[in-house]
Amino acid sequence: MQFAKDSFFLALQSRLAGLDPGRTITLNGATVPGIVVVENLPPSSAEPQPNAFYIEWGAAQVVAGHARNAALMSMECVISYYTLGSVASMVDRGRMLGQMDEELLAICQPPNTEKIDYSQSPSADLGTKVFWSQPVFEEKQKTAVDDLAARHPDARVERRVRLNVFFFSEVTLS
Amino acid sequence: MSTTPLRAAMVPVTRQMRAYFAPVNRTTETPTIFDPGLAGMFLLNAPPSPWVDLGWIENFDRWYETPTDVVRSGAKAQPAVQFRGPLEARVELDFRQWGKLQMALAGGSEHMNVLAPAGGSVSPAPSGGTPAPGAAVLAGSTASQLVFGTGVAGTFVAGQLLAVDLDYQQQIGYVGSGIAAAYVSDPLAVKQDPNYVRRVTFNVGRVAEVTETSVLLAQPLLGGVPAAGASAQVVIAFLDREGGSFFQEWSALFVAEEESGGRVCFYYPRLSPNPGAGGGVRWDSANVGTRGSGGNRSAKVVGVPGGKFVREEFAAIESCAAVSLHASFLALPFTDTNDGQSVLCYRSYFPAAMAATY
């Protein structure tokens, strides 16, 4: 399962670096592409930074009808991000969020990548692919008509994107 | 040796099916060959020439209707030998994208280009009346650039569709440069109209840019470099008809997009539109979002006398519906050059990297 998570993240990270080299964040003094996996960060990490994609993994299960011994699994994935705009008046924050929406949709294409074992060096191609559903863009808050400024003192606009990631388990079921 | 770790890669997973078509030489009945060894793992956005990408398709169904029977012998009528009955295979699908080729394949007969009418009084005709005269295409033209000489800017503008082909020369036989677009059995049947070939030709392109002496096309002409003596006329619309005597015939390649690594291709050397016996169906636009014959998202209703074949399908988009072109084909036989077997369809599989062989 970890191989699928790593492969998905590194595919999106390399695609983002190619698509928008300027979208970076600084983590522990290092500048990296602006997409990170929350569970890979120290628990003591600071609050999420604006203009960056945060990946969180959810529940996983064997896809019904595909169990056999080579189990096809699905895993929920949520990617969150927010922006405060690029100018002091923050009037372009809607446009900035739209740009991030487009970038995320773009780096999710094609919706598959090779499953690689990055725990060894050199990394090893595991022979199957990780593939995923098309992203669903949601408001992070349920009441989208609420005044954003009332919800967030800093007037941020934010997004939560859901998708399901599929992969063949490394475990052979009996 | 255990192949268990490699077996997962033996499961092809696909999200969607993509259709590619290429012309059949109707005079010699020679199909376009898809050789999996030469071009099997091509980039789906860049098919090898002369295959034309017709986009993603839906509701792709294949039928193989060749009965297999058994010769029995002995007192207990035990099976002795098997034999195959008449060959028949069909394909049905919905084109989600409309275009000249998609309409022609879904319609099945002559597919018309409605030519821009001549100025002044023109007798109305359902498939287009008297057209404005064509502009001669000059030497030096290519499939992507048509040379007309100075003053072309006053004739054509960017965005227009052009039909490019020869004048009808009163010949009997297939017409259309590069791709047979119709069959004329009697010049009188087409009123000896010199524009007839351009009314049906597949050599249609959209003007992307007009230069001082030529026009640049957004996509190359399917028939290649225009023949010497060809002319161009503006196309207003595409049109197909219920009826007509011509049968389209194309080579087809359907590719299941590989999500898990393995690619599956279905290659039909010769496909001809054929709605088959059908189940008796009709449109019901009020019924968008339901499907009478199983499945969903269709406005199809079964059991209507006189109706046999749905020409379009509706794919619901909330309260709207995207209209797709429903197409149905009969596979025609092709003689395999390796062993002389008569074949209707080839199914090829390109295993994922590191997948077990068996």
Provide the pLDDT for residue B332.
87
Q: Worst-scoring range by mean pLDDT, A7-11, A167-171, B197-201, B281-285?
A: B281-285
Q: Are A130 and A166 in contact (CB under 8 A)?
A: yes
Confidence of residue B302 (pLDDT cuts 50, 70, 90): very low
CA B147 to chain A, closest CA, distance in angstroms equals 39
Flag whether pLDDT at B327 surpasses 50: yes
Mean pLDDT value across residues B298-322: 58
| A:B CB pairs within 8 Å | 52
- Residues of B within 8 A of A131 (CB-CB) are 13, 15, 259-260
DSSP classification of residue B187? G
SS3 assignment, position B267: strand
Question: In a mutagenesis test of the A interface, which of B258, B259, B354, B357 is the best target, namely the one with the most A β-carbons within 10 Å?
Answer: B259
Cα separation values, B79 from A18, B66, B70, B132, Å: 64, 19, 6, 69
Provide the pLDDT for residue B337.
83
Provide the pLDDT for residue A45.
74
Judge: A125–B353 Cβ closer than 8 Å, yes or no: yes
Cα B316 from Cα B319, distance rounded (Å): 7
- Residues of A within 8 A of B13 (CB-CB) are 72, 131, 166
The fraction of chain A above a pLDDT of 90, given in percent, is 57
Q: What does the DSSP assignment read for B275-303?
A: --S---EE--GGGTT--TTSSSS---EE-
Judge: A127–B8 Cβ closer than 8 Å, yes or no: yes
Q: Are A45 and A136 in contact (CB under 8 A)?
A: no
Provide the pLDDT for residue B2.
54
Provide the pLDDT for residue B84.
83
**Nearest C-alpha neighbor of B231 from the set B330, B131, B298, B322:** B131
CA B327 to chain A, closest CA, distance in angstroms equals 27
Span A122-145, pLDDT tens digits: 998 888 889 999 999 987 654 445
Give the highest mean pLDDT range of A5-9, B68-72, B86-90, B278-282: A5-9
Q: Is A1 an 8 Å CB contact of chain B?
A: no
Flag whether pLDDT at B246 surpasses 60: yes
Q: Worst-scoring range by mean pLDDT, A143-152, B33-42, B322-331?
A: A143-152
Cα B179 from Cα B105, distance rounded (Å): 13
Flag whether pLDDT at B240 surpasses 50: yes
Provide the pLDDT for residue B3.
54
Flag whether pLDDT at B350 surpasses 50: yes
Conformational region of residue B261, where left means phi above 0, alpha means psi within -120 to 50, and beta covers everything else: left
SS3 assignment, position B151: coil
CA B45 to chain A, closest CA, distance in angstroms equals 12
Judge: A127–B260 Cβ closer than 8 Å, yes or no: no
Provide the pLDDT for residue B22.
96
Flag whether pLDDT at B252 surpasses 50: yes
More confident residue, A15 or B82: A15
Provide the pLDDT for residue B340.
82
Cα B222 from Cα B250, distance rounded (Å): 13
Provide the β-strand partners of residue A64: none
Provide the β-strand partners of residue A168: A72
Q: Worst-scoring range by mean pLDDT, A11-20, A147-156, B326-335?
A: A147-156
Of B8, B258, B353, the CB nearest to A168: B8
- Residues of B within 8 A of A168 (CB-CB) are 8-9, 11, 260
Provide the pLDDT for residue B304.
40
DSSP classification of residue B158? T
CA B351 to chain A, closest CA, distance in angstroms equals 10
CB atoms within 10 A of CB B232: 27
Provide the pLDDT for residue B75.
85
Q: Are A163 and A99 in contact (CB under 8 A)?
A: no
Of A69, A128, A166, the CB nearest to B352: A128
Provide the pLDDT for residue B186.
93
Span B172-228, pLDDT tens digits: 999 999 999 999 999 999 999 999 999 999 999 999 999 999 999 999 999 999 999
- Residues of A within 8 A of B263 (CB-CB) are none
Cα B41 from Cα B347, distance rounded (Å): 14
> What ipTM describes this predicted complex?
0.72
Confidence of residue B234 (pLDDT cuts 50, 70, 90): very high
User: Please, what is the Cα angle at A69 between B5 and A127, to 5 degrees?
Assistant: 30
CA B95 to chain A, closest CA, distance in angstroms equals 21
Task: Give residues 233 to 272 of B whose Cβ lies within 8 Å of A.
Answer: 258-261
One-letter amino acid at B313 equals E
Provide the pLDDT for residue B218.
95
CA B54 to chain A, closest CA, distance in angstroms equals 19
Mean pLDDT value across residues B60-80: 87
Q: Are B248 and B330 in contact (CB under 8 A)?
A: no
For A173, the closest chain B residue by CA position comes to: B4
Q: What does the DSSP assignment read for A93-130?
A: HHHHHHHHHHHHHHHT-SSEEEEEETTSSS-EEEEEEE
Flag whether pLDDT at A58 surpasses 80: yes
Q: Are B347 and B253 in contact (CB under 8 A)?
A: no
More confident residue, B148 or B6: B148
Q: Are B168 and B176 in contact (CB under 8 A)?
A: no
- Residues of B within 8 A of A127 (CB-CB) are 5-6, 8-9, 261, 352-355
Provide the pLDDT for residue B103.
92
Flag whether pLDDT at B355 surpasses 90: no
Provide the pLDDT for residue B286.
46
Conformational region of residue B57, where left means phi above 0, alpha means psi within -120 to 50, and beta covers everything else: beta
Q: Are A161 and A104 in contact (CB under 8 A)?
A: yes
Exposed (0-12), middle (13-18) or buried (19+): which is B142, by Cβ within 10 Å?
middle
Span B14-38, pLDDT tens digits: 888 999 999 999 999 999 999 999 9
- Residues of B within 8 A of A126 (CB-CB) are 354
**Nearest C-alpha neighbor of B50 from the set B23, B19, B82:** B23
Q: Is B352 an 8 Å CB contact of chain A?
A: yes
More confident residue, B260 or A53: A53
Q: Is A166 an 8 Å CB contact of chain B?
A: yes
Provide the pLDDT for residue B294.
39
More confident residue, A68 or A155: A155
DSSP classification of residue B8? G
Give just the sign of the alpha carbon dihedral B167, B172, B175, B179. negative
Provide the pLDDT for residue A111.
92
CB crowding B171-205: b at 16 or more within 10 Å, else e = eeeebbbbbbbbbbeeeeebeeebbbbbbbbbbbb
Of A72, A131, A172, the CB nearest to B4: A172
Q: Worst-scoring range by mean pLDDT, A78-87, A140-149, B268-277?
A: A140-149
DSSP classification of residue A40? G
Span B33-56, pLDDT tens digits: 999 999 888 999 999 999 999 998
More confident residue, B169 or A28: B169
Provide the β-strand partners of residue B23: B250
For B10, the closest chain A residue by CA position comes to: A128
- Residues of B within 8 A of A74 (CB-CB) are none
Provide the pLDDT for residue B192.
94
CA B96 to chain A, closest CA, distance in angstroms equals 18
Q: Is A70 an 8 Å CB contact of chain B?
A: yes
- Residues of B within 8 A of A72 (CB-CB) are 11, 13
- Residues of A within 8 A of B258 (CB-CB) are 112, 129
